[in-house]
């Protein structure tokens, strides 16, 4: 470990230790006051990971030696994991693999084996060709990142379940199937395919920016989610895009009203990258610039994702899964400080297939040094909205 990394690790340790001390002091003060907890708050707290006995610390320490298993422990009441999707998945690891090319079943998913869960690529009822190539563009401006315009290209639910899903599931991480639909008939067709499959839940992609039917309006979102909830007892998350406060609140209210188990925030956002050609000094006339329109991901998305997660945690009752530009321990801790129930890692996997394992190792090391033994405890230490 270089001097810079060692210094950063020490700063993280001291930061967490001080935050934990302050949180414990605040918890002690709050315990002297008998304050009722609102029903929405109680729902959020009951949806987060349970507290763990200090007796579990030895298991945590042993597990953290495996870089793929940070903050790992079993709930004291194991039956809780059957009722709440976050217990089983976040107890394995709070770091999940987001839906994307890495979970499309077109290549080995071995790099995802240590994820708390893997969200398989979005499928539709029928095959879709998506957008013509190129569909991925790496840009160097600003903080760097990717634009993609895959456009919901997929082989259809039935073929994905037959040929692609087994490849995703071979990584042995719990699998969540992402899907999108415009009608109840499409929802019925998709869920009929996946009901027999060994998956743990669904993520309804309501916000793809790269396809005409990818962004569900309020009426469609309500109808599709209501249908999915009626047909399946499995957990359902809804992936929303960044939006102004009132619109985001309205969309979250639909999710809660129609029985969603959580919200993933956020999806990629429409963007444009311009590549300028060199000018031919003889002709003095450049070629046309290359314009790439697609959804932006990576570090550019992080501040917007942080705003959305903070807003949703404070303004509505459903647990929030953070997604957007996560590539370092700093972003993981930042989302914990905002109250996220778990964190998805996406486009960073395009540059480093080992990023999940690295982040899990760094998170386990920081938490162990600060004597924090669960993601729930980490959130309570860092996030004032989640303290009792």
How confident is the model over 196-246, as pLDDT tens digits? 999 999 999 999 988 888 889 999 999 999 999 999 999 999 999 999 999
In a domain, 250, yes or no: yes
- Are the CB atoms for 350 and 327 separated by under 8 Å? no
Cis upstream peptide for 152 (omega within 30°):
no
Question: What percent of the chain has pLDDT above 90?
Answer: 64
In a domain, 184, yes or no: yes
In a domain, 288, yes or no: no
In a domain, 366, yes or no: yes
What was the pLDDT predicted at 207? 95
Dist CA 126 CA 203 (whole Å):
18
- Are the CB atoms for 88 and 108 separated by under 8 Å? no
pLDDT above 60: residue 55: no
In a domain, 313, yes or no: yes
In a domain, 16, yes or no: no
pLDDT above 60: residue 165: yes
State the average pLDDT for the chain: 81
Dist CA 315 CA 113 (whole Å):
34
* Nearest of 173, 170, 160 to residue 201 by alpha carbon: 173
* Catalytic residue set: 208
pLDDT above 70: residue 349: yes
pLDDT above 90: residue 96: yes
Per-residue pLDDT band at 49 (split at 50, 70, 90): very low
Per-residue pLDDT band at 88 (split at 50, 70, 90): low
pLDDT above 70: residue 14: no
In a domain, 370, yes or no: yes
- ∠ CA(43), CA(49), CA(53), 5° rounding? 125
pLDDT above 70: residue 25: no
pLDDT tens, position by position, 105-115: 998 888 999 99
* Nearest of 379, 385, 377 to residue 316 by alpha carbon: 385
Per-residue pLDDT band at 371 (split at 50, 70, 90): very high
Domain that holds residue 325: 38-129+152-271+298-386
Domain count for the chain: 1
Q: What is the pTM of this model?
A: 0.79
Question: What percent of the chain has pLDDT above 70?
Answer: 73
In a domain, 89, yes or no: yes
Residue 243's CATH number: 3.20.20.70
Dist CA 48 CA 342 (whole Å):
9
């Amino acid at each position: 470990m270089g001097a810079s990394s060692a210094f950063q690790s020490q700063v993280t340790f001291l930061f967490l230790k001080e935050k934990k001390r302050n949180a414990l002091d605040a918890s002690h003060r709050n315990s002297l006051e008998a304050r009722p907890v609102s029903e929405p708050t109680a729902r959020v707290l009951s949806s987060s990971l349970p507290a763990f006995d200090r007796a579990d610390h030895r298991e945590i320490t042993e597990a953290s030696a495996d870089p793929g298993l940070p903050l790992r422990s079993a709930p004291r009441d194991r039956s809780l994991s059957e009722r709440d999707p976050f217990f089983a998945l976040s107890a394995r690891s709070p770091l999940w693999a987001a839906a994307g090319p890495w979970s499309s079943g077109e290549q080995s998913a071995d790099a995802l084996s240590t994820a708390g869960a893997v969200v398989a690529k979005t499928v539709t009822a029928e095959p879709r060709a998506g957008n013509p190539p190129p569909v991925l563009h790496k840009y160097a401006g600003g903080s760097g990142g990717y634009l993609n315009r895959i456009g919901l290209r997929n082989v259809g639910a039935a073929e994905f379940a037959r040929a692609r899903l087994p490849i995703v599931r071979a990584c042995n991480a719990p699998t969540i199937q992402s899907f999108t639909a415009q009608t109840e008939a499409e929802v019925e067709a998709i869920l009929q395919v996946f009901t027999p499959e060994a998956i743990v839940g669904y993520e309804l992609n309501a916000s793809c920016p790269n396809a005409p039917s990818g962004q569900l309006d309020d009426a469609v979102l309500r109808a599709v989610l209501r249908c999915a909830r009626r047909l399946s007892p499995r957990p359902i998350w809804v992936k929303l895009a960044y939006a102004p406060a009132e619109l985001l609140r309205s969309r979250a209210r639909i999710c809660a009203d129609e029985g969603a188990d959580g919200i993933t925030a956020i999806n990629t956002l429409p963007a444009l990258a311009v590549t300028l050609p060199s000018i031919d000094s003889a002709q003095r006339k450049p070629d046309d610039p290359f314009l790439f329109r697609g959804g932006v991901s990576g570090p550019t998305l992080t501040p917007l994702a942080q705003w959305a997660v903070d807003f949703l945690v404070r303004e509505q009752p459903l647990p929030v899964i953070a997604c957007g530009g996560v590539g370092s321990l700093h972003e993981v801790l930042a989302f914990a400080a905002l109250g996220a129930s778990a964190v998805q890692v996406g486009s960073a996997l395009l540059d480093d297939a080992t990023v999940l394992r690295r982040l899990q190792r760094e998170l386990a090391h920081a938490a162990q040094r600060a004597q924090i033994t669960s993601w729930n405890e980490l959130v309570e230490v860092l996030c004032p909205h989640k303290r009792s």
